Chains A and B, each alone.
Chain A
Amino acid sequence: MSAITEGRPSGQPSGQRGGQRGGLRRKHPNAQPGGQRTRSRRTGWWVVALVLAVLAFVWVFPFIWMVSASLKTSGEVFAGGLGLVPESLQWENYSRAWVDGRFARYLLNTVIVTLATVVIVVVRCALAGYVIGRYRFPGSRLIIGIFVATLFVPTGYTIIPIVKVSLELGLLNSLMGMILALSGISNVAAILIYAGYFRGMPAELEEAATVDGAGFFRTFFTIMLPLSMPVTATVAILTFLATWNAFFLPLVFSFSNPDLRTVSVGMQAFVGENSTDWPGMAAAGVISILPVVILFIFMQKYFVEGIAGAVKS
């Protein structure tokens, strides 16, 4: 069902059954003649694992350091060094970021903007993908053509007119404006993924629904949309990542009203105003990053499949 596991007879991701599979193969008489060689090969992989583990530690070190710095005093952080354990835990760094740095507000804004954007994007892309994928209608070729032509539009290219159009609609200094702009830019890939998925569904589904008396609308919402859960997960996760990360648009949309800042923008403002408060900034960073990391660890499968889906479609 999922893109990433396809082609694997077991349907399991590599890591989970890796050991067992290796064990099976080792017993194969032709491929693995000598026990001695097997052992050295296994040691070889453990060495690789060790190297990867050290590298992985370096890889995530910035985050470990951030968590550590968020619990130190300013003096400890500025003293430098590689020590990660604080002398005593400075929880007030968190209260400073949360209350004085207003990250409570920024986090709420970010959650609202992200959730609303994900919902809008999923709905609009599913709707568009469905009709584009399953029907040919007057103008369909033109629409697909426009989509493909604008598939990769970088934000730096369009930010000025987006500001203008938002101004004209009276949406510039509002979360709603931010949400609409974020849901309006560059989600062509999502539409095309949906289109590809719906196109592959058997026609009998619709025919059966028509026989049951379901109209166009009901067919989509009661049959097609629920069946597209894997794609919806992909689109939702990709949109979630993009929106949570977004900086340029939220920056421009909250210039004149600090209450609208998201964590990305808020972090920049915090840096500007308290540039020497490293522990406070580290705490703010932890507050902003932790929710996503936790979400990722629990929903890793979807994250991975979501991104894998992009390369396969």
Chain B
Amino acid sequence: MTSQTRTRTPGADAPGRTAPVSADRRSRQRRRNLWIYAFLMPTFVLYGLYTIYPILASYWYSLVEWNGFSSQQRFVGISNYEAVFADPMFWSSVRITLVFMLIVAPLRVFGAFFLAILLNSPRLPFATFFRTAYFIPVVTTTAIVGVVMRFILDPGSGPFAAVVRLLGLAPIDLLGDSGTALATAAVVYVWKFFGITMIYWLAALQTIPRDLFEAARIDGANAVGVFRYITLPMLLPFLLIISVLTIEDCFRAFDLMYAMTAGGPFFSTEIIEIYIYRWAFAASIPQLGFASAAAVLFGVLVLAVVALQAWATVKSRAMQKGQR
């Protein structure tokens, strides 16, 4: 928590940072190091088994042909990658993943920003109540929300269909039409996780000292001026962080997508995670090597975003410093 450390001198007073001089001290340090490794042990074991090893193993699986049935794995070099690259369905899923991200991220980032500005205003009645209401979808179970949304949007019996009928329109099958399914799923995803981005923004807004506003008002600035010259510049670094966190989040839409459309109709909502799942678990003869190759490529895509994040964070830190 940067906010904590900001008030103190970060890390400067931590103990044990100076080089040991005496033998006694060295042995004490050795014992200390043993404790340190003991403290790290649970993380080494769990993280190693369930994160590091799987990442490495994915690379190996992506080089073999393996159906998961037999214990035989046949080394095939990079031919799985060639097959993935040659599969138009893979590129389609990459495109869908990116389109999904491009719909979700702006809606979440800017929509939540707007709402947060309103909720942050001291003059708005019932602000806490609204915050609660808009946050509630976040704490509900994604896979169940997906099912409930299928009912809500059901073109025959759902409440959405009732509204459509009320307006005198023909039945619309939002999730069943390949033209609208992806956008619909994206909107549901926005709705589901909107609250998180909203809280991000509220937290960001509250880092702006009150006195700044008071001072500006006394100087005669109007609301637009305050927003333009105080709020916006102060929030810019947060915009970067929040955007990257939100974009990153868009790569984890499997649960909702699986529950709502499972990739259909006609692959129109098949994000990469569903593509991987389809080849690894849902195929009559699982193609684990092929699926792993797709997974590794997916990882590369995510890595590109992580690189962007690292860059954005560094940039925003620099901007924050410049302001203080």
Contact = CB atoms under 8 A, between A and B. Distances in A.
Does a CB–CB distance below 8 Å link A and B in the complex? yes
Interface of A: 3-9, 13-19, 21-22, 25, 28, 30-31, 41-42, 45-46, 48-49, 52-53, 56, 59-63, 65-66, 69, 77-82, 120, 123-125, 127-128, 130-138, 143, 146, 150-162, 164-165, 169, 180-181, 183-187, 191, 193, 196-197, 199-200, 202-203, 206-207, 216-217, 220, 231, 241, 244-245, 247-248, 252, 263-265, 267-268, 271, 278, 281-282, 284-285, 288-289, 292-293, 295-297, 300, 303-304, 307-313
Nearest to A216: B35
Contacts of A307: 196, 199-200
Given A14-B120, A80-B162, A136-B17, A124 B125 contact: no
B54 interface: yes
Interface stretch (B42-50, B81-89, B99-107, B178-186): B42-50
Helix, strand, loop or mixed for chain B's interface? helix
Contact of A158 (B58, B123, B127, B211): B58
Contacts of B296: 157
A53 B258 CA distance: 31
Contacts of B208: 7
A191 B43 CA distance: 9
B138 A241 contact: yes
Contacts, number: 370
11 contacts: A48-B118, A62-B149, A63-B140, A125-B43, A157-B295, A162-B50, A165-B49, A185-B50, A196-B2, A207-B15, A308-B199
A203 B15 contact: yes
Contact of A49 (B122, B126, B138): B126
Given A14-B120, A281-B147, A135 B128 contact: no
Given A151-B306, A303-B135, A308-B202, A15 B119 contact: yes
Contacts of A193: 1
Given A180-B50, A196-B4, A156 B123 contact: no
B65 interface: no
Interface in B4-58: 4-5, 8, 10-11, 13-17, 31-33, 35-37, 39-40, 42-43, 46-47, 49-58
Contacts of B142: 245, 247, 264
B280 interface: yes
B152 A206 contact: no
Contact of B131 (A15, A124, A169, A220): A15
Given A59-B133, A150-B52, A184 B39 contact: no
A176 to B, nearest CB: 12
A231 B162 CA distance: 46
A307 B281 CA distance: 33
B291 interface: yes
A127 B40 contact: yes
A14 B119 contact: yes
Contact of A134 (B14, B55, B141): B14
A312 B1 contact: yes
Contact of B58 (A130, A161, A263): A161
A20 B202 CA distance: 20
Given A7-B206, A45-B124, A200-B8, 19 more contacts: A3-B203, A14-B202, A15-B126, A15-B131, A65-B151, A80-B161, A81-B159, A123-B42, A124-B42, A153-B302, A154-B252, A154-B299, A155-B273, A156-B277, A157-B302, A183-B50, A200-B1, A264-B142, A267-B259
A6 B254 CA distance: 35
Nearest to B280: A160
Given A137-B33, A150-B52, A248-B254, A48 B15 contact: no
Nearest to B46: A184
Contact of B255 (A14, A196, A197, A248): A248
B176 interface: no
Contacts of B136: 59-60, 63, 293, 296
A48 B42 contact: no
Nearest to B275: A156
A181 B47 CA distance: 9
Nearest to A252: B281
A159 B280 contact: yes
B127 A80 contact: no
A39 to B, nearest CB: 12
B278 to A, nearest CB: 11
Contacts of B281: 252
A300 B5 CA distance: 25
B257 to A, nearest CB: 11
Contacts of A120: 42, 46
A202 B14 CA distance: 7
Of all A-B residue pairs in the complex, the 9 with the closest CB atoms, nearest first, are: A184-B50, A15-B128, A15-B127, A308-B203, A161-B57, A161-B54, A156-B273, A184-B46, A158-B54
Contacts of A185: 50-51
A49 B1 contact: no
Contact of B32 (A8, A156, A157, A216): A216
Nearest to A3: B3
